[in-house]
Structure 1
Amino acid sequence: MKLAALRLRQRDGVSCGPAVAVVAGALLDPAYRRELVAPAWFAREQGRVHGRINTVWPRALGTTPMGMARAISAQGAGRGMPYRWRLCHGLWGRRDAMADVLAAVAQERPVAMLVGNVIPRHWVLIVEASGERLRCYEPSSGEVRTTSVGAVRAGRLTGLGFRRAFTFVLPSDLNSNV
């Protein structure tokens, strides 16, 4: 799928999580993927997903890691791919080997990453890895941007809205590697 060409943007200032969940679901499920060509469907689907995963948590505060794991699991459930969340390990992630993240992406299973500066604020989706390079869907722009594993570990992300990774949401069958 040519994700970058679709320019799929989040529908408002608090729907980065639902946008990431919908795109992750489209990458995991070919039938669901066909719907992405309709921009109106993408906007409606973000609203539907946001309502489903934020039943207790206020929508104005975005999507929690638990909510993101539920959303991606529901989207990929037909393919038997439950997702879980985990913290980015160590100060600024320096101790985080990210082996599970890289393994998931190598198997064409996207990984959601919650980023921020002092507090977590924005979801992006790691969709491809090549050596130290990561390609990430950034929902506020609808672009696929490049960063590096080193930038994730060092808390020096650029082009993804914020500098530091806080949480990863990845397939449950991959063990955390610190």
Structure 2
Amino acid sequence: MAPVGTTEPQIRVANSRLRVGRFSQAGDAVTLTQADATTCGAACLLAARLLIDGQERRRLGRVLEAGRALETGGAPDAGPGTGALLAEALNLRQKTLQRTINSAGLWLASWPRALGSTPWAVARAMSMTGAASAKPLPAGSAAPAGPGAPDASPAPASPGRPGQPMRYEVRWVRDHGPHWPAQVEKMRRHLARGRPVLLLTGGPLGLDRGAPGLAGLSARMCGSLVVPRHYVLALPWALIGQRDPGPGAAHLYEPGSGSVRALDLLAARDPRSPGPRQLGGWPRILALLNPADPD
């Protein structure tokens, strides 16, 4: 844990939101949300790095210290609040990560820029994350548990060898197919070991919202064309001070709202209708971005 007086932030779930900050006084923590409509992948990547990579937290702390010194001339209580500086720093970091992600995926000319980052490029960026630093956390904290600190769940196994970040891969899935339960169970094993997993969600070009006449017919005709739309992040429950949500379920960070809520991934969903808010309102899970290491 950072020494008292530094600005190295913590990351924790508070009021069903993923919050980043020092949590020492009012206004010095903010909800981590995506910077714009195309940075959901970068926001999920940043959330994962802040959870499991101490270098990312220290980097953010240095940015905050530099920003405060620039704005206040070194006076600790002058200038804008920490929350405003933190929100700006998180947005800028997302933009930087997005540029890095996209520079590795521009060869995919068939992937429209409006859809954001390609899953292969996001998986590559996750592979560069220091996943081996992940440790279980006490409830409500993103710093390692100290002596006697309450732990919300058993410690996960080490997610990787020290200094050896894991390679992430893209696995396309059929979330209504016969192999889906086994794929969810494998994902949950990664989460139990402290390994975040990204989910690529989407849906048909036209969602059927019960529109009558030609509008409803158009939506049904487009229903067979499924398009990737959004990334959400499945969080290891020990890293956010939560308990195992149960068989088939995961705690999902949705970057559009910054919310963290459990979702039963095996529950039936209408693929032609709007999906749950945990999936960004999309009904389908199209791919899992998870570690490629064998169990």
Higher CA-based Rg: 2
CA deviation vs aligned residue, 1:13-72 (integer Å, no higher than 9, x gap):
111011011111222212313538822221111111111111215643311110110111
Q: 1:122 aligns with which of 213, 219, 230?
A: 230
Q: Which of 261, 276, 285 is equivalent to 1:165?
A: 285
SS at match of 2:263: strand
Please identify, of 105-114 and 48-57, the stretch whose mean Cα deviation from structure 2 is larger: 48-57
TM-score, structure 2 as length reference: 0.53
- What SS does structure 1 have at the residue aligned with 2:129? helix
Q: Determine the structure 1 residue equivalent to 2:179.
A: 95
Task: Find the partner of 2:256 among 140, 144, 166.
Answer: 140
2:198 counterpart residue number:
112
Q: Which residue of 1 aligns with 2:91?
A: 43
**Superimposed CA distance per residue, residues 69-101 of structure 1 (whole angstroms, 9 cap, x where no aligned partner):** 01111223655222111011x462442212321
Quick one: structure 1 residues 41 and 167, their matched pair in 2 at CA, closer, same or farther if it must change by over 3 Å? same
2:32 to 8, 12, 18: 8
Work out whether residues 34 and 256 of structure 2, in 8 Å CA contact, stay in contact via their aligned partners in 1: yes
The 1-side partners of 2:170 and 2:93 are apart by 22
Q: Is the 8 A contact 1:92 1:165 kept in 2?
A: no
Relative contact order higher in (CA < 8 Å, ≥ 6 apart): 1
Partner of 1:21, secondary structure, is helix
Instruction: Answer yes or no: is the 8 Å Cα contact 1:28–1:79 preserved in 2.
Output: no
Aligned residue number for residue 118 of structure 2: 64
Q: Secondary structure at the match of 1:75?
A: coil
Task: Give 5+ residue unaligned stretches, structure 2.
Answer: 1-10, 20-30, 62-82, 132-162, 205-226, 238-243
- The aligned length equals 172
Tell me, in whole angstroms, the C-alpha distance in 2 between the residues paired with 1:24 and 1:150: 24
TM-score by length of 1: 0.85
1:26 aligns with 2:50: yes
State the alpha-carbon separation in 2 of the partners of residues 115 and 135 from structure 1. 15
Which one-letter code corresponds to 1:170 in the other structure? N
Moved more, 114-123 or 58-67: 58-67
Would you say the 8 A contact 2:202–2:284 is kept in 1?
Answer: yes
Contact 2:198 2:288 in 1 (8 A): yes
Letter in structure 2 aligned against 1:130: P
Inter-partner Cα distance in structure 2 for 1:94 and 1:150:
11
Aligned-residue identity in percent = 34
SS in 2 for 1:63: coil
- Deviating beyond 4 angstroms after TM superposition, the runs of 4 or more aligned structure 1 residues are none
Deviation at 1:174, TM superposition (A): 3.7
Asked if the contact 1:100/1:174 (under 8 Å) is kept, the reply is no
Greater share of strand residues, 1 or 2?
Answer: 1
Is 1:82 the counterpart of 2:167? The answer is: yes
Q: CA RMSD in A?
A: 2.3
- Any gaps of 5 or more consecutive residues in structure 1? none
